[in-house]
Structure 1
Amino acid sequence: MDTEPLTIDVWVRAHTPTIGPREHAIETVKELAERGVIEEYEVHTWPSAVDLTVPSEVTDRYREFAAWAERAGVTLEPAFSHRVVDNAITGEHNEMLVTPLICTVVRRDGDIVAVLPCCRGEEDHVSVLSYLASLDEDVDRVGGEKLPSPTVA
């Protein structure tokens, strides 16, 4: 069993008030870090949508998340969605990626363990908050594996 500690990156939409579930998720991540369930966390912002044809940190991250989702047998939709935007002036069609209000990426030793929210099948939606709650039970809610108990100093 892996004993490397977990880290979490929290991504939130920029220019949107941090209230409700997003605020609760960030507070929960802070508490998990304080109790030693995770080693560390970082909070990042991203725009509400980006052009997928233009390389950026967000498109790079999304491609990393999508590759993990394919390997894990889950989908990132509908949290991440795609839409085509038509430019009336140039006639171009841009494929836009719409980002979720909040997304958490759980890593162990730099490798992705989970990207939330995600869906296993058509009806099993794993939310950010339900996954964070499962960490208290030492269970990987996406993969179903038992996680190592944290070592509290």
Structure 2
Amino acid sequence: MTPPSLELFVRSLHPQGAHQRQEAILERLEQLEGDDEIESFSVVVWGDQISRESVAARSLKGRYVLNRVAEFQQWALSTNVSLDSFYQTRSSGPESDVETETTIVLPVMGLAEYQDGELVQVSPCTAGETVHTVQDHVDALAAGDRPVDLQDASAQVV
């Protein structure tokens, strides 16, 4: 089996309050790539939110972000986990003639793992009552383990 490829999504390359955490994750990903534990990783700056109805959402970068979020949500449905706490949707309006606008608030950091081009893991996510963080995901990869079995975790909730 080929090593996975990863995409790390960040709001900023120097986030206030999360800089040290982000740097630690990036250093671990570089190490994993150097040790051939992962095939590659890329960093995508996606900001803090995106409005589905905005002109920016129709741009190449905006479509990329919205497509990734939709892919993550589909993955969550198929694996019976939740992304709701991390990808919050907000609506504004209508105020008389103003049309309703839907905005997706994006997490400070998100990690997507692809195996042979197929999405196999997204973090952060919640399975049952357990939150699986980006750090948990990277720790599992560093230990040579498959990221936590989310199916087992979600099956434990009654």
| TM-score relative to the length of structure 1 | 0.83
Residue of 109, 115, 122 corresponding to 2:122: 115
Query: Are 2:140 and 1:142 equivalent residues in the alignment?
Result: no
Residue in 2 that maps onto 1:24:
24
Aligned Cα root-mean-square deviation (Å): 2.1
SS of 1:30's partner is helix
Indicate the structure with greater strand content. 1
CA 94–21 in structure 1, closer or farther in 2 if over 3 Å, else same: same
Any conservation in 1 of the 2:82–2:125 contact (CA below 8 Å)? Answer: yes
Within 5 Å, give how 1:121-136 maps onto structure 2. Answer: 121=128, 123-136=129-142
**After the TM superposition, which parts of structure 1 deviate over 4 Å for at least 4 consecutive aligned residues?**
87-90
| Equivalent residues, number | 142
Q: Runs of 5+ in structure 2 lacking a partner?
A: 152-158
| Cα displacement (A) at 1:60 | 0.9
Identity value in percent: 24
Write out per-residue CA displacement over residues 77-133 of structure 1, whole angstroms, 9 at most, x where no aligned residue. 211111112265842111110001111101111001101101101x20000001110
| TM-score relative to the length of structure 2 | 0.80
CA 32–90 in structure 1, closer or farther in 2 if over 3 Å, else same: farther
| Cα displacement (A) at 1:72 | 1.3
CA 42–88 in structure 1, closer or farther in 2 if over 3 Å, else same: same
Indicate the structure with greater helix content. 2
